[in-house]
Structure formats: structure tokens, C-alpha cells
Amino acid sequence: MFTNEELTSRNINFEQNKLNTKLVGVTFNDRQKVISGLNEGELLTLARQFDNEYDVNAVLALRSDGKEVGHIRRELAQELAPAMDKGCQYICEVKQITGGGELSKGVNIEIKKLSETLTYNCFTCARNYKTKTEAENCCKI
């Protein structure tokens, strides 16, 4: 894990289990249409995207209807994904919609940590276990 100083040097601003950042990949897969319907203060779900061929730590931000808004940037996803895989929960709030007009819209968000790591997840079936060993052995053949 990065120290707070390293995260700050990467423009990741932590403050008591809160983090302000912007979503990336917002111009792909009709996400601009989804963003047009967003409201400041709206809560988004953060979900791991295990099948992402470009980033093994990919984390998607989704609306409550499951529509994709964008990704958490790679440097931050590298830190969040392992914690999420172990059961740590986060919530994401839309803080600001940027751009518009002739420019692409962007989304500034605040990520809040809801819980510490409580369980470990099997990467194949997503079952929760109390120990890492149980999760690793879950779907082994």
C-alpha cells in the first residue's frame, strides 16, 4: 500500500477515510449519455471489473441501475482493488459534473470507506470466507 505522502504526490487526496478524485474512461461505451443524467450528490456503486483486459485491478463506478459511469484511475484502483477483494466496502458520491457544451463531461467524486476488511472473497464464485486460505481453496479443482 502507498503511504499518504505517496498518494498525495500522485494527486490522490486522502482525508479521514475519504478520497476526492475524478473518474476516467468517461467518453467510452455511451457513458456521456449516462453522465448527462447524473446529479450532484448521487451515490454510485464501486464494483470490481475482473474481466478487464487492460487493468487487473479495474474498478467501475456504476449508477443504481447498473449503467457504467467510468473507472477509478489505475493508480487508485491498484490500492482499492485488493481491499475490495478482501471485503472492504466503499461508497462513491458524485461531487461535480464538469465540462459540457462542446466539451466531454467529466465526473468528480468522493469515495468513502464504509468498512474495514471483514471477509475474503473467492475470485471465481465470489463467496465470502473468514480466512484467505478458505477463499483461495474454494474453487480449486
CA distances from 93 to 12, 21, 100, 127 (A): 16, 11, 20, 27
Q: Give the pLDDT confidence of 24-73 residue by residue, as tens digits.
A: 999 999 999 999 999 999 999 999 999 999 999 999 999 999 999 999 99
Contacts of 62 (CB under 8 A, 6+ apart): 44, 45, 46, 47, 68, 69
Asked if 122 contacts 132 with a C-beta cutoff of 8 angstroms, the reply is: no
User: Does the predicted TM-score (pTM) go above 0.75?
Assistant: no
Would you give the DSSP letter of residue 18? E
Q: Give the pLDDT confidence of 2-13 residue by residue, as tens digits.
A: 444 444 444 444
Q: Give the pLDDT confidence of 64-99 residue by residue, as tens digits.
A: 999 999 999 999 999 999 989 988 888 899 999 999
Give the three cell numbers for residue 85.
477483494
Beta-bridge partner residues of 18:
112
Report the C-alpha gap between 73 and 57 in whole angstroms: 10
CATH number corresponding to 4-137 = 3.30.70.2330
